[in-house]
Structure 1
């Protein structure tokens, strides 16, 4: 019996998802797409899940799409890559962005093509210092996908985004952190320790407030200051009526650690 292509573990509010095709650098097949979509659906509906931690098994995080699954010389002719993106990658990106719980990505090695852009969709990206981010699409005559043109342009600016996409030059994790593409580069041996500690912190935190914050930040990239001010007002109104706000104030007054439920009411 073959090993599952996606490992799942729920412990103390943290749902850890490990891409598990190390012999193929965790490249994606339709099966892996389906399982990851199911896992994020679980994260959305299960109150026991307070944070998601995504990583990869073996020496790399993810090499993107398994090209063996989309070979141009396959019987029947070249595959419709637009269909692959529309049916598989785009729904996954939208699902991760819409999840109103923190999503951490621990990039344990090379992240290439759609694998790099999948990592960048997550809320907080930590990477091993030896990790590299590679926009490998140009080497195949393709266009960056999985939200890469949107994410990288906003995080890096047009000049750096275009240069990385057109050259396919690897960007190492320390430089990615320096440029603001990811949050932090961590010594390899401490990557998962730090990622798990951060995930546990979020899992014990005010999940409802985290979700509202994500909503405001995502909207800020698409609207002006006035609209953001109005949205902050409405979201703060919601947060102010939550049990976590009441608990946070009481804990502050009592000089103790808060015990958040993460629930809206």
Structure 2
């Protein structure tokens, strides 16, 4: 009888452990989907969307309920976001420009003017910042920084919600915004920051947190439900 009681107790303990494991799994699974409760994710769902496919590129045009417009460009093979740009309204109702958040800047259609005003043109030797997005990292590339890697200090600043770059020679200072983390209400973790330097370019990589990885994956699947259109919208042609 004692042996039977022991077996019953063991079974009861095992049953309780199974329940705890199951509950823990459910809680962990729900926490990884917390991005669904953010204003950003809901605004993406509610936005009017149109899709255009060109070779290996998928372009999505969004029109939000507040009349803001955004264009995203994805690599079809890797499912990685290559470009995100926001429409900036022009003055006096004129045609606006695109403010690029991720990807290469838009080509400047303004012709080079010599003579008056030429001295105010931006120097090609000035540091130039571009944003990149990979499957696992958020990246910033700053060209025309010739200093060795030990010159740079890169730190997370959650009070100002940015990544701060300083140099020991005090010749460069920059604050990098991380809108992807702001939109999901996530902190900037110092341990997720990595830096490298080559060919006069400082490369800062921020490892994507799990919530952002999960959202990237789920949102691309959601975009597959947007049927491509045959005619190319004017907004997409500008991209």
> Which has a greater percent of strand?
2
Note whether the superposition's TM-score is higher than 0.5.
no
> Which has a greater percent of helix?
1
Question: Which of these two proteins has the greater Rg computed from alpha carbons?
Answer: 2
Q: TM-score, normalised by structure 2?
A: 0.28
